[in-house]
Amino acid sequence: MTYTLLISTDDTKGLVYNISSILYQHDLNIEKNDEFVDKEHNSFFMRTEIVGTLDEAKLLSQIKQALPQGAKVKLITKRKKSLILLATKENHCIGDLLLRYENNELNADIKAVIANRENLKTLVERFGIPFYWVDSDNKPKAQYEREMIQIIDSFKPDFLALAKYMRILSPDFVRHYKDMIINIHHSFLPAFVGANPYKQAYDRGVKIIGATAHFVTQDLDGGPIIAQDITQINHTYSWQDMQKAGRNIEKNVFALALDLVLNDRVFLNGNKTIIF
């Protein structure tokens, strides 16, 4: 059996040695190990891939005893995570994820797609994935979100991915799925807010287009960043060319961020992330 051991704790001497010794005592093989020390906050992070047969409760108990008080320890069995996609009507990010899913390139089991528009129904159902349309225009926001939560909770997902979902989530919704929601957006924020940011960027002569994937928190578009990328453009680009280039970056950055999260490679460290 393959496991991933995740540890975050105050930094002290001998942590790697102590943890490795316990794994050795349990006859577990370390296939990959990464660690990082945040010196500013004296914090230690460790991600270890291990193989073998183990008594989970006993192993975790011994590791916690060897760590400073307050340490966070997770032992995760290697498996596909369950994922729900939230969308509106843009198809580039969700289409890319569905293709990766069909080609077994995404370490996830996509349980459903929930959208506040019906545009993507035909696309989604081609992949044999349930599609739920929850109308957001003709009911109070609280009722709309309650309906979404009822659907989402029936699947008990590990994560939610906002595949160009164009609604602002309420604090209650975000709190209900704390540290579970991943979003993607262009990196023009906060400069170009609102409709057609690419036209706004074109009018300002922007020379770089980018995308940012992050965890969703109460701070709108200000959660811990998981992945980013940029591409250079020039004066020959129309705003439509810029939009096309931006969408390509968005889908690639989103897929990368989800790959990192789904494979347990991301630690939250305040409003930042540690990526292994």
d(CA 136, CA 218): 20
Length of the chain: 276
* Closest CA relative to residue 101, chosen from 89, 110, 93: 110
Classified as helix, coil or strand, 185 is strand
Which amino acid, one-letter code, is at 80? K
Tokens of 87: 């969308």
Beta-carbon contacts of 237 under 8 Å, excluding residues fewer than 6 positions away, are 202, 245
Which amino acid, one-letter code, is at 55? D
SS3 per-residue string spanning 98-125: HHHHHCCCCCEEEEEEEECCCCCHHHHH
Sign of CA dihedral 129, 77, 276, 267: positive
Q: Which of 11, 221, 241, 259 is labelled catalytic?
A: 221
Answer yes or no: 221 catalytic. Answer: yes
d(CA 89, CA 112): 16
Burial of 202 (0-12, 13-18, 19+ CB in 10 A): buried
Which H or E run includes 151?
helix 141-155
* Closest CA relative to residue 147, chosen from 157, 168, 132: 132
Q: What is the set of active-site residues?
A: 221
